[in-house]
């Protein structure tokens, strides 16, 4: 009689390191029986068991995956999963590949994404967005969220072009490269200006104003500025007798109000304004300003940079001298107290177009304009503008010109023009200002130093 064979997947046990096949049969007659090898069981900490290799999923080869001891197909540590131009290497719970996004998308952090980041489209820009300025008459392209000015030209309305400069428009970026000479654009505005009328500097830049009138009687022409209207700071004044011309020049900061008036009438001859300093020659930069909170015997500007062509010093103030005036402003450069200063000056007052003059040599300080004392009316002050030409060059002695005016109620309205020289070729790096009488500058006196390119 033939022996009976029992097909069992457990007995006898397989050799060490191997596994028995699994048997399976159906219910047909005769019954069909087959065997298969079970998949390996990976190690999860206590060891696994032998078996068939699990089949890799589609794309596993392209991703460079290998069979790990835990029975899964994975990319080996240190091996890049990247396959396509622009792919990013990311990590959520394992190293992973983030496929490149579509054109115009940006990478955004997103906590709900598998790897914490995702691609998304930019929000659509509009010409009415806050902070977007559209030059008048120029089309702004906001496609794909990029703001550009493809049709702009150097003469397009709304674009500010410094005089003599070059405007370049490339890739929607507008840039201006320096202009040459002057303080900007000169505008003859005589036909739209009137004496005594208040105007405002809306250019956003420093405005230079020159006004000339023909006097109808002996008197004074004054230029006023102020942060509020009406302007009350008298920055420039000049005097003449009837029939002669008077001229004042003063600066108006952006947003400030200004006007020109005469105390005895006259006809406006010219009114010229300069705006738009473009970074070329003549542009002014305020280096420093000192407004005295209390009376002081001197004012010092130190560490003056040498990066400009000329220095311009403006002064508005008064002397503590008890007389009506006239107290001359003096200066010393770089702490030099030696006999190295020369000067020459001419005066004009309401009593005479040739009010006098004088000169001096080898003084221990340079002489500028005059300030009135406290003997005059309340608020009486003098003004002056001094220009040090080529202050930083070292080839020639340092020279300066100074113009100014003040009211002395004892005898006249005065204007003065001064030339002075410091007998040194050194660059000016500091200025000490004082009064010739030894008195103090009164509180409120204002000293401003500009650099001119």
Q: Is the pLDDT of residue 438 over 70?
A: yes
Tell which residue, 380, 376, 398, 381, has the closest CA to residue 389. Answer: 398
* Strand blocks (E) in 133-205: 166-170, 173-177, 185-188, 199-200
Residues 294 and 404 in one domain: yes
CATH code for the domain in which residue 397 is found: 2.60.120
Instruction: Quote the domain boundaries for residue 413.
Output: 284-452
Residue 71 C-beta-side C-alpha neighbours within 13 Å: 15
Q: How far apart are the first and last CA of the chain?
A: 123
Q: Flag whether 259 is in a domain.
A: yes
Residues 343 and 379 in one domain: yes
pLDDT at 78: 67
Q: How far is it, in rounded angstroms, from Cα 347 to Cα 417?
A: 7
Q: Flag whether 317 is in a domain.
A: yes
Tokens found for residue 330: 């003096």
Q: Flag whether 152 is in a domain.
A: no
CB 232: neighbour CB atoms within 10 A? 11
How many domains are there within the chain? 4
Q: What is the mean pLDDT of the chain?
A: 79
What number is the average pLDDT over the span 319-340? Answer: 89
pLDDT at 153: 45
Peptide bond into 12 cis (omega under 30): yes
Residues 98 and 203 in one domain: no
Residues 312 and 263 in one domain: no
Whether pTM > 0.75 for this model: the answer is no
Q: Is the pLDDT of residue 351 over 90?
A: no
pLDDT at 132: 45
Do residues 451 and 388 make contact, with C-beta atoms less than 8 angstroms apart? Answer: no
What number is the average pLDDT over the span 397-413? Answer: 83
Q: Is the pLDDT of residue 376 over 80?
A: no
Cα–Cα distances (Å) from 106 to 118, 119, 123, 440, in that order, read 8, 6, 10, 65
- 42 CB burial (10 A radius; 0-12, 13-18, 19+): middle
pLDDT at 162: 40
Sort strands 117-121 and 446-452 into parallel, antiparallel or unpaired: unpaired
Residues 340 and 218 in one domain: no
Residue 18 C-beta-side C-alpha neighbours within 13 Å: 10
Residues 362 and 214 in one domain: no
Higher pLDDT, residue 205 or 368:
368
- 237 CB burial (10 A radius; 0-12, 13-18, 19+): buried
Residues 376 and 423 in one domain: yes
Residues 104 and 62 in one domain: no
Q: Is the pLDDT of residue 131 over 80?
A: no
Q: Is the pLDDT of residue 270 over 50?
A: yes
Q: Flag whether 139 is in a domain.
A: no
Residues 295 and 431 in one domain: yes
Residues 315 and 434 in one domain: yes
Sheet strand arrangement including 245-252: 185-188, 266-275, 207-215, 245-252
Q: How far is it, in rounded angstroms, from Cα 52 to Cα 244?
A: 116
Residues 405 and 370 in one domain: yes
Q: How does pLDDT run across 154-179, given as a tens digit for each residue? A: 444 344 444 444 445 544 444 444 44
């Amino acid at each position: 009689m033939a022996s009976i064979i029992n097909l069992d997947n457990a007995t006898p046990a397989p050799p060490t390191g191997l596994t028995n096949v699994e048997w399976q049969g159906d219910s047909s007659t005769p019954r069909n029986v087959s065997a298969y090898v079970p998949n390996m069981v990976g190690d999860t900490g206590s060891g696994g068991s032998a078996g068939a290799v699990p089949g890799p999923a589609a794309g596993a080869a392209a991703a460079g995956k290998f069979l790990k001891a835990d029975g899964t197909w994975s990319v080996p540590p240190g091996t890049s999963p990247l396959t396509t131009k622009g792919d990013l290497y990311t990590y959520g719970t394992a190293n992973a590949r983030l496929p490149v996004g579509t054109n115009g998308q940006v990478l955004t952090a997103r906590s709900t994404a598998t790897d914490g980041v995702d691609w998304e489209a930019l929000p659509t820009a509009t010409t009415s967005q806050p902070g977007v300025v559209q030059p008048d008459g120029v089309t702004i392209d906001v496609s794909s969220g990029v703001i550009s000015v493809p049709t702009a030209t150097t003469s397009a309305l709304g674009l500010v072009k410094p005089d003599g400069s070059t405007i370049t428009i490339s890739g929607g970026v507008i840039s201006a490269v320096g202009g040459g000479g002057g303080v900007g654009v000169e505008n003859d505005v005589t036909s739209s200006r009137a004496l005594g009328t208040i105007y405002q500097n809306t250019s956003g830049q420093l405005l230079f104003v020159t006004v000339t009138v023909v006097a109808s009687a002996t008197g004074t022409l004054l230029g006023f500025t102020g942060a509020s209207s009406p302007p009350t700071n008298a920055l420039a004044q000049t005097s003449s007798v009837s029939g002669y011309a008077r001229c004042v020049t003063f600066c108006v900061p952006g947003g400030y109000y200004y006007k020109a008036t005469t105390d005895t009438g006259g006809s406006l001859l010219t009114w010229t304004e300069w705006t738009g300093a473009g970074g070329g020659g003549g542009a002014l930069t305020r280096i420093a300003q000192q407004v005295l909170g209390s009376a002081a015997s001197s004012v010092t500007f130190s560490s003056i940079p040498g990066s400009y062509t000329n220095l311009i010093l403006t002064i508005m103030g008064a002397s503590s001298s008890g007389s009506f005036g006239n107290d001359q402003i003096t200066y010393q450069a770089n702490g030099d107290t030696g006999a190295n200063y020369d000067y020459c000056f001419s005066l004009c007052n309401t009593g005479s177009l040739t009010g006098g003059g004088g000169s001096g040599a080898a003084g221990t300080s340079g002489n500028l304009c005059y300030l009135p004392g406290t003997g005059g009316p309340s608020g009486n002050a003098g003004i002056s503008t001094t220009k040090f030409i080529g202050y930083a060059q070292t080839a020639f002695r340092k020279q300066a010109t100074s113009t100014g005016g003040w009211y002395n109620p004892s005898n006249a309205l005065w204007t003065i023009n001064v030339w002075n020289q410091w007998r040194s070729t050194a660059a000016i790096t500091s200025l000490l200002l004082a009064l010739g009488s030894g008195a103090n500058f009164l509180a409120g006196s204002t000293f401003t130093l500009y650099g001119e390119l």
